[in-house]
Chains A and B, each alone.
Chain A
């Protein structure tokens, strides 16, 4: 990334200046400021900023907003901003910006809380303080999101619409949980058990974010397992390399166009990716044979949908998408295999995968044919729609390609071949 645009520099300078101006009242009333609490909160905030995904930063900042007057709360947020993890350059400017952002947001939250909430807050005052604390949490999230949008507009040239309107609604949900937690920290802080007990209150939040993170990693691991299953096929039949994943992606394009969402879409992605997994059951010498196949060999190859169906039988979550693997070689006019189903006897998922499979087969280079351009492949699909393919699926694919385009190259990190030879992926993915 190049140097920062001038607009971004001015924007960041303004934010830092504003944060500094907000801290001025501290100097005038230095003896009245609870410096001990300020330093402790600042330290805790700095530690929280170093955690992966920063789940505790906002509750700590909210506690600071409830405990401290605006100027002090703003100052308490500064070390956290400076200590935060920065992935990209320029590091110093990003740190400074982050500190100013957190400081302004916390100061604003503290000001809003001070309008109606008691300070210092004690146990009997909890219900009275809940409303102001929630308002402070919302203001904190709002100010952070607005400032963040500003820097996206000035530094990265995003359109204001995407920078603000798309980010705002999502940012306003977590504060509803973080606000009460921050308030509880503040209440326990002033109780006889003191600040150490107050910080323990953050434990449930840390736990929930940790478990969420493990959940996310487990799902990623599952996707990797599916890719490994595809890799196992590639051990036997190298020329399909990359084909499986591209069929998975094309299936998702079609299914999304047809209005499928959530689990069903995810299941269809896996079904598309695994559609040829049954080739494992076909003898290697038949798969690798160059030249025309005898009828006996053809029959062996035509068994692969049934092998595939048998293999994924145990994967509960695939559900109806399992049929896509069994029936992806059926044709609308009943000339396909394995069962010769016609029309709507063929499951919807199978009709999706059939179109995706044919499309990718035509647009990639095979040992027996060169890749065709996308429009020619679509024309061919339209020609066979009604006899081989479901016209609805072909139309959906056409619409989806118009909208998103077709990017056959699979990201390198996801498809490095077994023998670490990038040239072979390129050969499989050429379009």
Chain B
């Protein structure tokens, strides 16, 4: 079943697309040569795109298509000649080119909807101003023109973040909108915005130098696109290797089967509930996956893999040994900190380590038939004076009340 927010966004995108197509069909295509050049660029980007692997990372997987879309929306001149395509034609061309480039493997609806709405927003901001001639008086042909385009770009990025947050929240099965939006906003200064800026630069360069600028930009953008794919592949492989590392304790008989994976998924959900950013969620996930590695140094496994009954000194020693192994993985130092500090009282821990500690204790306790999930939560609430942070325990209770961590999103 599709959540209603997702259906709303899709309906909005659909309405914009149908309106734009109808308008363009009625009026005919203005400056078909320019439209064709941009359409080909966007289609090329889509054709070179591969299916993104699961997991986050660099979010935009088709830099060429995304930059081409913005470049067409913000295009006011071609080699000094003013353009006359309006906002509806921008949406129509972008939609047609995206679909044409993705023939045989339809793009995900969410992505398509975001692109249509983004293109429509940027075009509606820019094209009427351009057509009315207001831009001719200010910023005209001055260097401020670039600044003006970047301003529009920032607005478009904000609009996209609002929609992305709504989609992400709906896909994650509810939750507050505030943290989801905060997370999207914090992701903004990344590669996605750089790609957007490239779109604005492309519009500028075409305005100054004509359509010749498009193929010139193609090469670095295609290199970027391929590198993004390779980066995603390397990231996925590394994630799998880390998961193998996490499974070592299970295979060695130190922890129950699936423990590390369960703790990672639940920690991620709790972290999302607390409004952590994408980068922090990744730290959390890696730390949760590897939190038990230090147990390998024990000559004999602890019963049921639960370190909770051990004396605190011993638990800290195991945590430090685990931290030493995890440090070798080349993960960010924050992940090492999560593993190293997991046995400390919560006031000495970073937030990520607090989450892992609480979720780990919950998983150990809930798996014990004598305790069960409800009593496990009760015991965690009783331990909020020293060991577990109250805020984290409450977030865990909220996530569990919703039915546990949501399945990984699209």
A interface residues with partner B (beta carbon < 8 Å): 123-124, 126-127, 130, 176-177, 180-181, 183-184, 187-188, 191-197, 200-201, 203-205, 207-208, 210-212, 214-215, 218-229, 231-232, 235-236, 277-278, 280-281, 283-285, 307, 310-312, 314-317, 418
Q: How far is the CA of A281 from the CA of B233 in the complex (A)?
A: 29
Among B127-135, B164-172, B326-334, B372-380, which stretch is in contact with chain A? B326-334
In the complex, what residues of A have CB within 8 A of residue B216's CB?
180-181, 183-184
Residue pair A207, B143 in contact (C-beta under 8 Å):
no
In the complex, what residues of A have CB within 8 A of residue B325's CB?
228, 231-232, 235, 418
Residue pair A312, B244 in contact (C-beta under 8 Å):
yes
Q: How far is the CA of A187 from the CA of B206 in the complex (A)?
A: 11
Q: How far is the CA of A214 from the CA of B201 in the complex (A)?
A: 23
In the complex, what residues of A have CB within 8 A of residue B330's CB?
220-225, 228
**Does B311 touch A at the CB level, under 8 Å?**
no
Residue pair B220, A204 in contact (C-beta under 8 Å):
yes
A315/B79 contact (C-beta < 8 A), A197-B143, A211-B224, A284-B299 known: no
In the complex, what residues of A have CB within 8 A of residue B154's CB?
none
Q: How far is the CA of A211 from the CA of B248 in the complex (A)?
A: 32
User: B229-269 CB contact bits vs A (8 Å, 1 = yes)?
Assistant: 01101111110111111011001110000000000000000
Residue pair B252, A281 in contact (C-beta under 8 Å):
yes
Q: How far is the CA of A207 from the CA of B325 in the complex (A)?
A: 34
Main secondary structure of the interface of A (DSSP, over half): helix
Residue pair A126, B210 in contact (C-beta under 8 Å):
yes
In the complex, what residues of A have CB within 8 A of residue B212's CB?
126-127, 130, 184
A218/B251 contact (C-beta < 8 A), A208-B220, A211-B58 known: no
Among B2-10, B97-105, B191-199, B273-281, which stretch is in contact with chain A? B191-199
Given contacts A284-B300, A317-B237, 18 further A-B contacts (CB under 8 A): A124-B210, A184-B216, A194-B143, A197-B146, A197-B208, A200-B146, A203-B198, A204-B217, A221-B234, A221-B238, A222-B241, A228-B328, A229-B244, A285-B300, A312-B244, A314-B240, A314-B243, A315-B244
In the complex, what residues of A have CB within 8 A of residue B79's CB?
123-124
Residue pair B209, A280 in contact (C-beta under 8 Å):
no
**Does B124 touch A at the CB level, under 8 Å?**
no
B interface residues with partner A (beta carbon < 8 Å): 58, 63, 67, 79-80, 141-143, 145-146, 191, 194-195, 197-198, 201-202, 204-205, 207-210, 212-213, 215-217, 219-221, 223-224, 227-228, 230-231, 233-238, 240-245, 247-248, 251-253, 293, 296-300, 321, 324-326, 328-331
Residue pair B146, A235 in contact (C-beta under 8 Å):
no
Q: Please, which residue of chain A has its CB at the minimum distance from the CB of B79?
A: A123
Residue pair B204, A200 in contact (C-beta under 8 Å):
yes
A218/B231 contact (C-beta < 8 A), A123-B210, A228-B328, A229-B244 known: yes
Residue pair B209, A222 in contact (C-beta under 8 Å):
no
Residue pair B240, A207 in contact (C-beta under 8 Å):
no
Residue pair A225, B238 in contact (C-beta under 8 Å):
yes
Residue pair A197, B204 in contact (C-beta under 8 Å):
yes
Residue pair A211, B191 in contact (C-beta under 8 Å):
yes
Residue pair B252, A316 in contact (C-beta under 8 Å):
no
Q: How far is the CA of A223 from the CA of B238 in the complex (A)?
A: 8
**Which residue of B210, B215, B224 contacts A204 across the interface (Cβ within 8 Å)?**
B224
Q: Please, which residue of chain A has its CB at the minimum distance from the CB of B242?
A: A225
In the complex, what residues of A have CB within 8 A of residue B247's CB?
311, 314
12 pairs of residues in contact across A and B, judged by CB atoms under 8 Å: A184-B209, A184-B213, A188-B208, A193-B141, A204-B221, A207-B194, A211-B191, A215-B231, A218-B231, A223-B330, A228-B326, A316-B240
Shortest Cβ gap from A75 to chain B (Å): 25
In the complex, what residues of A have CB within 8 A of residue B233's CB?
317
Q: Please, which residue of chain A has its CB at the minimum distance from the CB of B247?
A: A311
Q: How far is the CA of A307 from the CA of B224 in the complex (A)?
A: 39
Shortest Cβ gap from B131 to chain A (Å): 20
A224/B328 contact (C-beta < 8 A), A187-B208, A215-B227, A315-B244 known: yes
**Which residue of A229, A281, A285, A310 contacts B253 across the interface (Cβ within 8 Å)?**
A281
Residue pair B328, A218 in contact (C-beta under 8 Å):
no
A231/B224 contact (C-beta < 8 A), A188-B205, A197-B146, A285-B299 known: no
Residue pair A221, B331 in contact (C-beta under 8 Å):
yes
